Amino acid sequence: MGERLLQLRQVEKSFDGHRVLKRIDLDVAAGEVVVILGPSGCGKSTLLRCLNGLEPIQGGTLLFKGEDLNAGKVPWRVTRQKIGMVFQSYHLFPHMTVLDNILLGPLKVQKRSRREAAADAEKLLSRVGLLDKKNAYPRQLSGGQQQRIAIVRALCMRPEVMLFDEVTAALDPEMVKEVLEVMLDLAREGMTMLIVTHEMRFARAVADRIVFMDGGEICEIAPPDAFFNRPQSGRARQFLNRFF
Ligand code: ADP
Ligand code: MG
């Protein structure tokens, strides 16, 4: 495991005075896969959104490679190229081909040459088994294929960290596996990832550490075997009982 890429210190987030994240402390090392588990409404999405600058925080600090992300030195537009995020809904542009969807960020935001970025995109497309779809339109693809394209679109910006927020939650069951496989493959390659999921078998297989949240707090941080075999808190046991 490498250097610390992300450091969260006493992070506080509230909506209209309602505290949604409470004193969140978490370090993520380069190459580490952290899976965030917890009941609906406990603050998992908000935590990822704060790390991507989609929500401002009200207290504490978020450090990326030692730099305070909210210091205003680096615009979030730039930081987001380093911290990629994939959501439950994939939001591909319907009027653009797969390749053009993927190249939008690399060409418009990163000002890379079409030739170089397209070579990158094609490499990534073949990794997820969708190179033959590069000229297709999103509506011609299944949900699982569209979500794999959304992952490629994020990866094509060459991020150093990837955030995944329930990326299989909206998919038909038979398409879940093909998307989880892509994430497992990324983990094996050493990508640093924060993953929110309700796929417990996947969580156990992919995670270096599990972070269990409830009520806006981190209740437990443990390696997956320890967490699933011997959850320490009553809240974690109660949560796991719903799955096993
Ligand atoms: P999770 O992803 O774990 O289900 P969320 O992070 O989405 O939880 O939400 C945590 C809490 O914050 C919930 O109580 C939710 O209602 C509230 N919340 C999330 N987003 C907003 C928002 N934009 N405005 C007000 N409240 C919000
Ligand atoms: Mg959520």
Longest dimension (CA), the chain: 55
Residues lying with their CB under 5 A of ligand 2, a single-atom ion: 45
DSSP count for the chain of H helices, then E strands: 9, 10
Q: Which ligand is nearest to the CA of 39?
A: 1
Question: Which ligand has an atom closest to residue 217 CA?
Answer: 1
Q: What is the mean pLDDT of residues 141-149?
A: 98
Q: Which atom of ligand 1 is nearest to the CA of 213?
A: 3
- Is the distance from the beta carbon of residue 41 to the nearest atom of ligand 1 less than 6 Å? yes
Ligand 2: distance of its center to the CA of 95 in Å?
A: 28
Contacts of 207 (CB under 8 A, 6+ apart): 33, 34, 35, 195, 223, 224
Instruction: Specify the pTM.
Output: 0.97
Percent of the chain that is helix, strand, coil (3-state, to 5): 40, 25, 35
Helix or strand holding residue 233 (H, E): none
Residue 119 CB-density burial (10 A; 0-12 exposed, 13-18 middle, 19+ buried): exposed
Q: Report the separation in Å between the CA atom of 20 and the middle of ligand 1, taken as the mean of its atom positions.
A: 7
Query: What is the average pLDDT across 146-150?
Result: 98
- Chain mean position to CA 149: 15
- 53-111 tens-digit pLDDT: 999 999 999 999 999 999 999 999 999 999 999 999 999 999 999 999 999 999 999 99
